Each structure stands twice: as C-alpha cells, then as structure tokens.
Amino acid sequence: MRDVAKLSGVSISTVSRVINSSANVDIATRIKVEENIKKLRYKPNLLAKGLRIGSGNLIGLLVPDAMHYTFASFISYIEEYVTARDHSLVLGSTNNNPILEEKIVEDLIRRNVDGIIFSRVSDQSRVMRILNTTEVPVVIIDRTFPNEEIPTVALNNEKAGELAAEHLAELGHTAIACITGPMNISICRERLHGFVTKLKEYGVTLNERYIFEGNFKHESGLKAVNHFMESNLGITALWAQNDLMAIGAIKGFQSKGIRIPHQVSIIGMDDIELAKIFIPALTTIRQPFREMCENAVKMLLRETNESKKIIVEPTLSIRESTSRLGEVGATSEG
C-alpha cells in the first residue's frame, strides 16, 4: 500500500480512499492509483482491515458431520450465499463433541466473524452462553429450540408428517407404520405428531406397536422391518423419517420376498440424491434446503426483517415406492 502510494505520488490515505471507492477523490488521481495497484499487484490485507474495522468478513458454519447429506447440502448452499455477499466461510465440524464445538466457536469469535450458523447444535445452553457473552450474531438452522429467542430457520416438521400421512391415507392404506429418528430430538417428535394427527383425521389410529424408533441410519430400516414382521401386523404402508431408513426398510422387505410398492408402500424423507436413483425410486418428503440456507444467511447479515423464527414448508415428491392399496405400482420391482 505504501508502495502504491509512493509510486502514485500520493499518501496512503488516498490509496485507501481509492480502494474503498470513497466519493471524495479526484478522478485523475483515482485512475493513476488504480493503475499502480494493478502494476504492483497490490492486494489489500484483510487481517489489517479486519483488525481496524472490527470485522473479519467471515461467516462461521458449524455442522456435526460434514459428510452427511443434509449437512453437505447446508455447507454447499451456505458457502454459495456467503461468497455471493463477499464474505468467506469458515467451516467447523463438531462430531457432536462439545469440547471441539467450544474450541471452534471460540476460534470463530476470536476471528471477529460477522456471524455463526449452527446446524444441529449439540447443546442448547452452550449456544445461549455464546449469545449472552458475545456480540456475535447466531442463527440456528434445521433444529429449533422452542422456548428460546434464538434466531432460527427450520422446517415445518409437523407438516412433513402430515404430508406423509395424507399421501398414504389417500392411497387407501390403513395399516400404517412409522420409523422415527431418535425421539429425544424434537424434530422427530414433531414429525411423528403431525403424522399421527393427520392419520387420525382419516380415521386411522397409529398405536405404539406401529412405531419403531430408529437412529437415522440405514440399519434402522432393516431392524424396523424385522420388528414389524415379527409383530405380524400386516402393515401395507410405512413412513421412515429419513431416506436412509426408508431404503433400509425397502431392502428389509425385499429380502423377505415382499415387493415394493406392490405389497408395501414406503415413503421417506429428505430427498437425497439416492432417492431418485434407487430401485424403486423413493417417494419422499422434500426439504427446501436451499431456501433454508438462504434465509439463514440473510437473517445473519440482517438482510431481512425477520429476526426470530423462519419456518419453511416441506413438499411431497411422489415416485415409485408408493402405490394405491391393492394396486401394482408403476414400475417393476427391479
């Protein structure tokens, strides 16, 4: 910067003004300075700038597992929106390790980030402490904490359950089961509640024997099928609260010679890439991840008036793994 100033015969303050396109600078000097910036390949130092203005021009993103589909989506979309706003993204993966999470958050704060996006934060109180102890804006994405005033963007999980219920009920099913995620996670309870409630509207009651608590992994689907088969409930339709478990369930049924969707209709949730590719292609509840991420970034950067909770709506994606009760599905079982 000094070199540019010297070469241009001006002071560094003028160079600074040129860089920040300040109004009050003579057009001639501006051009000269800009030329010399190019000539000297001068690149303003963001650390110095950040130190001075008290902002690192960074957004922090914390996820529990960067490889998982949901979070990989978040990372990808948030990076896109953050970069478009001339910020950079620093990414931390916590693996649900509170110590690590703490360390990363501390690091972010020390970097003067302009905000932090938490996805599936491990512990509500931790976030609260950060919020109370620093000025750094925080928004939580994907999971909601009902009793707090933390800015949040989340899915309407009730609605997700309702959509699944509606679809299955409309297809004529009455013996319907559900594989949930871990029930200590609120989104899972909300999803189930919506599912049960809507089903009741159709006159079908989902008692506990039709509910299997999974862990969001593929294996849960297999286990659930074994469980349901042993119970001999004669179910003809099933909703799994994520696609991985739905696919596990399909495999489980198929390995017992049961055809999908001919004998059992299955619906998932998330709409992972695999959902389209799998045979049969998976009917599923789609989450608008992109929209969620955009809202999170906008909220963080105060681009929107909404500063508390933004709820986005799921949609139903009908493919091949569900069919009308008693009817053959649209495709072969593969």
Partner DNA sequence: TTGTAAGCGTTATCAT
Partner DNA sequence: ATGATAACGCTTACAA
In the complex, the smallest distance separating the C-beta of residue 277 from a copy of itself, rounded to whole angstroms, is: 6
Rounded Cα gap, residues 334 and 330, in angstroms: 12
30 or 218: CB nearest DNA: 30
DSSP class of 209: G
Among 31, 35, 48, 107, binds DNA (CB under 7 A): 48
Name the phi and psi angles at 97, rounded to 5. Answer: -100, 110
| Single-letter code of the amino acid located at 34 | E
26 lies in the site for DNA, by CB under 7 A: yes
Q: Which of residues 50-109 bind a copy of itself (CB under 8 A)?
A: 50-51, 56, 58, 65-67, 72-73, 75-76, 79-80, 83, 88-93, 100, 103-104, 106-109
Per-residue tokens: 191: 């999803």
Query: Rg (Cα) of the chain, in Å, rounded?
Result: 26
Residue 13 as a binder of DNA (CB under 7 A): the answer is yes
1 binding DNA? (CB under 7 A): yes
The answer to whether the CB of 126 falls within 8 A of the CB of 101 is yes
Q: Read out DSSP for 122-178?
A: S-HHHHHHHHHH----EEEES---TTS---EEEE-HHHHHHHHHHHHHHTT--SEEE
Q: Name the binder of 213 from DNA, a copy of itself, none, CB < 5-8 A by kind.
A: none
- Minimum CB separation from a copy of itself for residue 257, in Å? 9
Q: Based on the shown chain and the rule CB under 7 A, indicate whether residue 51 belongs to the binding site for DNA.
A: yes
Q: Rounded to an integer, what distance in angstroms lies between the CA atom of residue 297 and that of residue 75? A: 12
Partner that binds at residue 23, options DNA, a copy of itself, none, CB closer than 5 to 8 Å by kind: DNA
Quick one: tokens of 182? Answer: 């871990």
Taking CB within 5 to 8 Å according to partner kind, which of DNA, a copy of itself, none is near residue 80? a copy of itself
Which of 12, 31, 48, 183 touches a copy of itself (CB under 8 A)? 48
- β-strand pairing of 315-317 with 283-286: antiparallel
Closest contact distance (angstroms) between CB of 282 and a copy of itself is 12
Which of 231, 142, 150, 236 lies closest to 191, judged by CA? 142
Which part of the chain contacts DNA (CB under 7 A), choosing from 2-10, 141-149, 200-208, 214-222?
2-10
Both structure tokens of 270: 């998330």
The reply to whether 9 sits near DNA by the rule CB under 7 A is yes
Does position 106 interact with DNA (CB under 7 A)? The reply is: no
Tokens encoding 158: 């009730």
Contact call for residue 52 and DNA (CB under 7 A): yes
Q: Which residues bind DNA (CB under 7 A)?
A: 1-2, 9-14, 16-17, 19-20, 23-26, 28-30, 42-45, 48-49, 51-54
